């Protein structure tokens, strides 16, 4: 087997669960695999590690429904200010790891060091080190070295992240859960420095349950005895579950309210709701540094409520695809990967806040929705988005145009290899089933909106640009509904494939 980055991505994609398997779990109402942690520990041993070997990485473990990635990015950015540099004469950390999911454009985004994705060379190197160790372990047991000798996609990347951070000498790492917490692949962590739970909502119900209390139970599974835990504000019923689970494992959890200093800090991530994630990140980072023997003063020498490094980290953080704005000559793109009912409502509120006011009313410019959601209840998300914008704008017609497309990246080339998803129905994508259904739903909500369906993101982008070129005012386009959509959209913009 060749050993390039492209070869690594191709091999990794063979580990994705196919649509039939994923659909069977959904339809059966199957819950999380209760053997997943023992299985994950066995995979660790096959590549030469015990979970306790990861303790010296000084791991921060993050679970939640909304804001996991943003909170993790805030933490990593703050810690980045304490790295050795010309400006930092007293560094508190030497190398920072950040493991998140999903990725936007490149799978190597998931495994970062010092706030930069692994290079293609490094990704390929560590990928094949794990691949080879797994095959050798199977061979030594007289077992086949085919795909049965490797774990599924996310598990493989989790193993690879821990291995990479060990090899690279990382001394602080933020690990974001994939799904849930109790049975998540990342929950082989034995002794984190601190755990955090971001805002909870209803998502992954086939695996985690249909109520906020059931979901809170799963997320609280990352709590460890004697390890401080922090949570964003939650519904009281969820708080009750979190506190009970904390008591059961021998710790406590603290609810983190909005930090007063944020009124004077310009966060690097737009939208008011990011203050919730930033506040949680502040509490978690303080505790992490304290556990490393570096208690941080509550105030800076300038009298601020936050140390300068915290302020700089909060202001300099970058997390593409989350409340992000990009401008072209005659249109502006407003990009957010919201994909749950709660997050889509937040995205809608953020977009509404970006629309210029004219007196007491919002100006009626050309506004386009570019939307997709291939696996969740797309129609419910679209309706929630319309309701949010209708209320915010006091306008029954928040968009003049709407285009619904698949997550296929390019018209001719199809998916970029990093963006291939095998857990959706290829037939449904080819027939544009979800997109046509969304178009009909939107026409029912607002018959005046000009609605279009496109087979690829590239074609949808071209269509939006065509509308903008014929508009007298700057056109505003909200791109939302799916992280996968946003990733493909950014790929189209960055490569200039759309004309």
* DSSP codes of every residue in 329-375: SSEEEEE----SHHHHHHHHHHHHHHSPEETTEE----EEEEE--SS
146 Cβ contact list (under 8 Å, min separation 6): none
Residue 222 CA to residue 351 CA, distance in Å, equals: 34
CA 76 to chain centre: 14
CB 107 within 8 A of CB 164: no
CB 8 within 8 A of CB 128: yes
CB 181 within 8 A of CB 221: yes
pLDDT tens digits, 268-299: 998 888 999 999 999 999 999 999 999 887 65
> Residue holding tokens 């302020």?
311
Residue 229 CA to residue 242 CA, distance in Å, equals: 10
* Residue 229 reports pLDDT greater than 50: yes
pLDDT in the model for residue 278: 97
Can you tell me the mean pLDDT for 65-92?
94
**Which DSSP letter does residue 295 get?**
P
Reduced to 3 states (helix: H, G, I; strand: E, B; else coil), residue 322 is coil
> Residue holding tokens 């980290």?
313
Residue 161 CA to residue 157 CA, distance in Å, equals: 6
CB 210 within 8 A of CB 66: no
For the four alpha carbons of 236, 238, 243 and 247, in that order, the dihedral sign comes to positive
Q: Would you place residue 430 in the very low, low, confident or very high pLDDT band (cuts 50, 70, 90)?
A: confident
Residue 308 CA to residue 303 CA, distance in Å, equals: 10
429 Cβ contact list (under 8 Å, min separation 6): 374, 406, 407, 408
* Residue 28 reports pLDDT greater than 80: no
High-pLDDT (> 70) share of the chain, %: 92
- The average confidence (pLDDT) of the chain is 90
CA distance to 330, 374, 403, 480, per residue, from 382 (Å): 26, 12, 12, 10
| Token couple for 90 | 């007293």
* Residue 242 reports pLDDT greater than 80: yes
Residue 152 CA to residue 134 CA, distance in Å, equals: 12
* DSSP β-bridge partners for residue 62: 176, 196
- Strands, sheet with 253-255, edge to edge from the N-terminal-most edge strand: 116-117, 111-113, 96-99, 172-176, 59-63, 194-197, 229-231, 253-255
**Which DSSP letter does residue 414 get?**
B
Residue 233 CA to residue 255 CA, distance in Å, equals: 6
> Residue 402's CB: how many other CB atoms inside 10 A?
25
Reduced to 3 states (helix: H, G, I; strand: E, B; else coil), residue 64 is coil
Residue 449 CA to residue 469 CA, distance in Å, equals: 18
Helices (H) and strands (E) in the chain, counts: 17, 16
Can you tell me the mean pLDDT for 452-462?
97
pLDDT in the model for residue 429: 85
Q: Would you place residue 27 in the very low, low, confident or very high pLDDT band (cuts 50, 70, 90)?
A: low
pLDDT tens digits, 471-484: 888 899 999 999 99
pLDDT tens digits, 101-120: 999 999 999 999 999 999 99
pLDDT in the model for residue 204: 64
| Token couple for 290 | 């304290």
């Amino acid at each position: 087997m060749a050993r390039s980055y492209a070869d690594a991505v191709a091999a990794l994609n063979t580990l994705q669960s196919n649509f039939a398997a994923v659909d069977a779990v959904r339809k059966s109402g199957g819950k999380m695999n209760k053997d997943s942690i023992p299985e994950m520990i066995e995979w660790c041993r096959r590549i030469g590690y015990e979970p306790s070997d990861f303790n010296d990485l000084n791991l921060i473990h993050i679970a939640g429904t909304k804001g996991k990635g943003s909170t993790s990015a805030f933490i990593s950015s703050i810690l980045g200010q304490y790295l050795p540099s010309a400006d930092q004469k007293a560094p508190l950390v030497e190398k920072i790891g950040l493991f998140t999911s999903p990725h936007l454009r490149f799978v190597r985004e998931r495994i970062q060091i010092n706030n930069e994705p692994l290079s293609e060379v490094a990704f390929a190197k560590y990928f094949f080190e794990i691949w080879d160790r797994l095959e050798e372990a199977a061979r030594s047991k007289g077992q086949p070295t085919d795909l049965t000798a490797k774990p599924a996609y996310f598990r493989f990347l989790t193993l690879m992240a821990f291995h990479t951070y060990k090899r690279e000498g990382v001394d602080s790492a933020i690990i974001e859960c994939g799904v849930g917490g109790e049975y998540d692949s990342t929950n082989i962590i034995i002794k984190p420095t601190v755990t955090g739970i971001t805002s909870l909502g209803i998502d992954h119900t086939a695996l985690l349950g249909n109520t906020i209390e059931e979901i809170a139970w799963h997320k609280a599974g990352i709590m460890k005895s004697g390890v401080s835990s922090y949570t964003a504000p939650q519904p009281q019923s969820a708080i009750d579950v979190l506190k009970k689970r904390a008591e059961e494992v021998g710790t406590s959890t603290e609810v983190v309210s909005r930090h007063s200093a944020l009124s004077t800090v310009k966060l690097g991530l737009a939208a008011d709701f990011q203050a919730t994630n930033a506040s949680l990140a502040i509490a978690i980072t303080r505790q992490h540094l304290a556990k490393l023997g570096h208690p941080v003063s509550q105030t800076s020498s300038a009298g601020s409520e936050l140390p300068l490094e915290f302020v700089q980290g909060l202001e300099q953080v970058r997390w593409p695809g989350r409340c992000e704005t990009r401008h072209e000559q005659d249109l502006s793109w407003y990009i957010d990967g919201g994909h749950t009912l709660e997050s889509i409502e937040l995205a809608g509120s953020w977009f509404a806040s970006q629309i210029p006011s004219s007196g007491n009313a919002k100006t009626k410019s050309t506004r386009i929705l570019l939307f997709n959601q291939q696996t969740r209840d797309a129609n419910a998300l679209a309706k929630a988005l319309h309701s949010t914008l209708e209320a915010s704008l006091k306008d029954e017609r928040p968009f003049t145009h709407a285009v619904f497309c698949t997550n296929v990246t390019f018209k001719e080339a199809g998916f970029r290899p990093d963006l291939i998803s095998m857990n959706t129905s290829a037939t449904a994508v080819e027939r544009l089933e979800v997109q046509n259904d969304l178009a009909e739903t939107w026409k029912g909500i607002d018959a005046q909106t000009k609605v279009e369906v496109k087979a690829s993101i590239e074609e949808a982008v071209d269509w939006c640009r065509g509308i903008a070129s014929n508009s007298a005012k700057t056109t505003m386009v909200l791109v939302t509904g799916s992280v996968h959509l946003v990733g493909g959209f950014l790929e189209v913009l960055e490569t200039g494939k759309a004309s």
